[in-house]
Amino acid sequence: MLGRSKYSVLLRPLAYLYGLGVGLRNLAFACGLLPERSYPIPIICVGNISVGGTGKTPHVEYVLSLLTPRYRVAVLSRGYKRRSKGLIVARPTHTAEDIGDEPRQILAKYPMITLVVDGNRRRAMDYLMSLDESERPEVVVMDDGLQHRYVRPSYRIMLVDYARLLSDDRLMPEGRLREPARARYRMNCVIVTKCPTELRATERRGIERNLALRPWQRLFFTGIEAERDKLRPLASLLPAGDSATQPTMALSSEQSVFLLSGIAGPEAFAESLRSYCRIVGEQHYGDHHNYSLDELKDLEQRWQTLVATHPELIILTTEKDAMRLVDLSEGLSPQFISRLYYLPIRVLVPERERELDRQILLAAKAKPQSLQD
pLDDT value at position 4?
53
pLDDT value at position 372?
43
Is a pLDDT exceeding 70 seen at residue 7?
no
pLDDT value at position 370?
44
CB count in 10 Å sphere of residue 81: 17
* Cα–Cα distance for residue pair 16/10, rounded to 1 Å: 11
pLDDT value at position 235?
56
pLDDT value at position 213?
97
β 155-161/43-47 pair status: parallel
Cα separations in angstroms, 171 against 189, 217, 331: 22, 23, 39
User: Per-residue pLDDT averaged across 189-208, rounded?
Assistant: 94
pLDDT value at position 295?
92
* Cα–Cα distance for residue pair 362/18, rounded to 1 Å: 36
pLDDT tens digits, residue range 319-366? 989 988 888 777 788 889 889 999 888 999 999 999 999 999 999 998
Instruction: Let me know how long the chain is.
Output: 373
- The share of the chain scoring above pLDDT 70, in percent, equals 93
Amino acid identity for residue 19 in this structure: G
* Cα–Cα distance for residue pair 259/323, rounded to 1 Å: 16
pLDDT tens digits, residue range 243-298? 646 778 888 888 999 999 988 878 878 887 887 889 999 999 988 888 888 999 99
Task: Note the pTM of the prediction, 2 decimals.
Answer: 0.91
* Cα–Cα distance for residue pair 247/23, rounded to 1 Å: 52
Those residues whose C-beta lies under 8 Å from the C-beta of residue 357, and which sit 6 or more positions away, are 66, 349
Which candidate, 269, 271, 301, 306, places its Cα nearest to that of 285? 269
pLDDT value at position 371?
46
* Cα–Cα distance for residue pair 283/302, rounded to 1 Å: 10
